[in-house]
Structure 1
Amino acid sequence: MENIVFLDRSTLEATIRRPAFPHQWEEYATTAPEEIVVRLIDATIVITNKVPLRAETLAQLPQLKLIAEAATGVNNIDVDWCRKHGIAVANIRNYAVHAVPEHVFMMILALRRNLLAYRADLQRGLWQQSDQFCLFTHPVRDIHGSTLGVIGHGVLGQAVAEMAKAFGMKVLFAEHKGATESRPGFAPFEQVLEESDVVTLHVPLTEATRNLIGADELRRMKPSSLLINAARGGVVDEDALAEALREGYIAGAGCDVLSAEPPSAGNPLLILDLPNLIVTPHIAWASREAMQILADQLIANIETFVRGAPQNLVT
C-alpha cells in the first residue's frame, strides 16, 4: 500500500480526489523545514508545492519513490539527486494556459492606460477640480498596433502571443540570449528588447535565466515600453528594475513574482510607491479553474506512476 503525504495542502484551493488504488493519505496545511523528515519517514509518495526537498533531506527517506510536484517549477527539489538515486519526480504542465495570459494582459492594459495613476488622481479630487469633462494627467496608449516581445516559447508564451494577436499586436519571439544565429520565427534577443512596446517573460528559473533582465537589458528597452514578469522573480534583477522605474528608463512594469516569496522586508519593488508598477502576490496561475485542472493532473500523475506508466516526469 502506498503511503502518500501532502506537505503543503494550503497552497492549493481545489477539490483533490483520492487516488484510485489502495493507499494511506496524510496532509498538512504547511510544513516547516524541521518537520519534513519526521512527516515523510514512512512515505512512498510525497506531494509538495513549495516545500524544499534537498539532497540532505532526501537521503534520510529511503522509502520514497515519487515526488509529485504540485506546480510546474521544480527548483524546490534536488532533481539531480533524485535522478541519481531512483526517485521519480513528476510536475504539472499546461494547466494555466488561460489564467496566466489573462493576468498578463490585465497588467498590460492597466499600465498602458495608466489605470492606477488615474485612480489615484480621482482619489485626490483632480477630476472634480478639472475645468473640462475629462482629465489628461497621464498618457493613455492603445495596445492595438503595438509590438509584444515574448521571451519564452513554451505553452504560456505561445498562449500570450495568440491573445496579443487578437488585440491587434505584432508579436516577436526572442531567440536565446547570447545566440549567434536566430531560428526561423525568432528575432535576436537584443532586437526584441529594442523594438518591443511590451516585453513579457515566460521562462523557467535556471542558472541560464537568472537575472536575464538586468540593467543593460532595461536600458535597451524603449522609454515608453513595459516589462511584464509572470515567470519567476529571479529572472529579473529587481534592483535594476527599481532603478529603471525611478529613472524612467522604461514606462512601467507588472510583476506577479518576486525573487523571495513571501517577500522579505526591503524588497526594492515593494518599497517603490509608483503608479506605473503593479505587483501581485504570485496569483497569475491561481484562478479556480486552473487550480482544479492542476489538482486533477496531480492525482493523475500519481496514478499513472503507480500503474507503471508514469507521465510528466522530469527525472
Structure 2
Amino acid sequence: MSLPTVVFLDRSTIPSHIEFPHLPFDHQWVEYDTTEPDQIVERLSQAQIVITNKVVLDRRTLSHLPNLELIAVCATGFNNIDIEYCQQAGIAVANVRGYASQSVPEHVIAMMFALRRNLIGYHQDIAAGEWQRKQQFCFFTHPIGDIAGATFGVIGSGELGQATATLAKALGMNVIFAERKGAAQCREGHLSFERVLMLSDVLSLHCPLNEQTHHLIGAKELSQMKPNSILINTGRGGLVDEIALVHALRKQQIGGAGVDVFSQEPADESNPLIAHCELSNLLLTPHVAWGSDSSIQKLANILMDNIRAYVEGEQQNRVV
C-alpha cells in the first residue's frame, strides 16, 4: 500500500491533550472532530484506513467505499460496524482491547460507594435545607450500607469483569459471576443468571451488546433483585431496559442504579434516565468510565499500533 490516507471521523471523542503516536510509514492524515452520517462517504472516498469511535459504518455506507481496506475502531466495542459486510468485502477490522482495565473498574467502585452510602441523597437533602431544619449535628434520611461483606455480582467474566471483581474482593466483598442467561449448565466458577440476580447486593454489567443481551436486564430481572440492591452499567446502554429501570427506581424495587452508558448517545431529554435524573438513587455519567487519562493514552497507543501492524502485514487485535 503506497502512501495510504488515514481518516479519523470523530477525533473529538478523544480529549485534545491526548497525543497519538506517529505512524512509522508515509501517509496522509485527515481528522474531523465529528462526522454526520451524510458526510461519511465523501470524507472516506479516498481513504484506505478509517478510524472511528462511534460513527456508524453500516452496509449501505461501506458499499460506497471501494478503496477502504482497514477500519481501526478507537474502542473495544464494534457494534457500530457491519462486521458481516466487512467479511464479505475483505475489509479488515481491528479494535482496541485491554486499555481500560483500571479505569472502568475504578469507576464502577466509585459509583458503588456513592450509591451504597446514598451520597447523592444526602447532598440533595443539604441543598434543600434538611440539615438546617433538623437542628442536629447529623441526620439520617437515607440508609447507609457497608461494602465489606456485601455480595458483588458480575455479568460478563471477561477482562473488565475480572478486573472489577478483583477490586471488589480487595474491599472484602463476596464476588459471584453469572452464567449466560438461559444457559442449561453453569461453567465452573459461575452461578445461574437468576441466582446471581437474587443474591447480589451490587450487580455490575460487563458483557457485550448483541441480539442475545439486548435488554438483558428488564422488568422481570429487576423484580428478582433485592429491594436494596444496586445495578451498575458501564457496559452498553442497550443491556438495560431504561424505562423498566426508572420504574424500579421510582417504586423502590431496587436500591439504586449507576449508569454510564445509554441506549442512544448522546442521550437527551427523551431518554427516561435523563428525564428522571433528579432521583436520589440514580447516578448518571456520560460514558466516561473508560476515560482516565492513562487509559485513553493507552488506547491511542494501541490504536496506532494496530494500524502499523496492518500495514506491515501483521494480525493484531483483528475482529475480521
TM range (shorter): over 0.9
Following the alignment from structure 1 to structure 2, what is the Cα–Cα distance between the partners of residues 135 and 154?
41
Following the alignment from structure 2 to structure 1, what is the Cα–Cα distance between the partners of residues 56 and 163?
30
Following the alignment from structure 1 to structure 2, what is the Cα–Cα distance between the partners of residues 130 and 57?
61
Following the alignment from structure 1 to structure 2, what is the Cα–Cα distance between the partners of residues 121 and 263?
27
Partner of 1:109: 113
Q: Does 1:294 align with 2:296?
A: no
Partner of 1:308: 313
One-letter amino acid matched to 1:12? I
Following the alignment from structure 1 to structure 2, what is the Cα–Cα distance between the partners of residues 286 and 62?
34
One-letter amino acid matched to 2:144? V
Following the alignment from structure 1 to structure 2, what is the Cα–Cα distance between the partners of residues 121 and 61?
56
Q: Does 1:285 align with 2:290?
A: yes
Partner of 2:126: 122
Partner of 1:34: 38
One-letter amino acid matched to 1:6? F
Structure 2 residue matching 1:97: 3-state secondary structure = coil
Following the alignment from structure 1 to structure 2, what is the Cα–Cα distance between the partners of residues 138 and 10?
39
Partner of 2:10: 8
2:136 to 127, 132, 136: 132
1:75-96: CA deviation from partner (whole Å, max 9, x where unpaired): 1111110011110000010101
Following the alignment from structure 1 to structure 2, what is the Cα–Cα distance between the partners of residues 190 and 92?
32
Partner of 2:234: 230
1:207-230: CA deviation from partner (whole Å, max 9, x where unpaired): 010000000000000001000000
One-letter amino acid matched to 1:5? V
Q: How many residues align?
A: 315
Structure 1 residue matching 2:191: 3-state secondary structure = coil
- Alpha carbons 2:237, 2:261 under 8 Å: kept: yes
One-letter amino acid matched to 1:33? P
One-letter amino acid matched to 2:308? E
Following the alignment from structure 1 to structure 2, what is the Cα–Cα distance between the partners of residues 265 and 127?
31
Alignment of 1:175-254 (within 5 A): 175-254=179-258
One-letter amino acid matched to 1:29? D
1:21-79: CA deviation from partner (whole Å, max 9, x where unpaired): 11111111111111111111111111011111111111111111100000111111111
One-letter amino acid matched to 2:271? N
Deviation at 1:126, TM superposition (A): 2.0
One-letter amino acid matched to 2:76? T
One-letter amino acid matched to 1:175? E
Deviation larger for 124-133 or 2-11: 124-133
What TM-score do the two structures reach when normalised by structure 1?
0.98
Deviation at 1:303, TM superposition (A): 0.2
Deviation larger for 32-41 or 298-307: 32-41
Deviation at 1:131, TM superposition (A): 4.2
Structure 1 residue matching 2:131: 3-state secondary structure = coil
Following the alignment from structure 1 to structure 2, what is the Cα–Cα distance between the partners of residues 70 and 87?
16
Deviation at 1:310, TM superposition (A): 2.4
- Alpha carbons 2:176, 2:191 under 8 Å: kept: yes
Backbone CA RMSD of aligned residues? 0.9
Partner of 2:23: 19
Alignment of 1:62-101 (within 5 A): 62-101=66-105
Following the alignment from structure 1 to structure 2, what is the Cα–Cα distance between the partners of residues 137 and 246?
17
Following the alignment from structure 2 to structure 1, what is the Cα–Cα distance between the partners of residues 257 and 271?
15
Paired-residue identity, %: 56
One-letter amino acid matched to 1:276? N
Alignment of 1:266-277 (within 5 A): 266-272=270-276, 273-277=278-282
Structure 1 residue matching 2:223: 3-state secondary structure = helix
One-letter amino acid matched to 2:247? E
2:260 to 256, 259, 268: 256
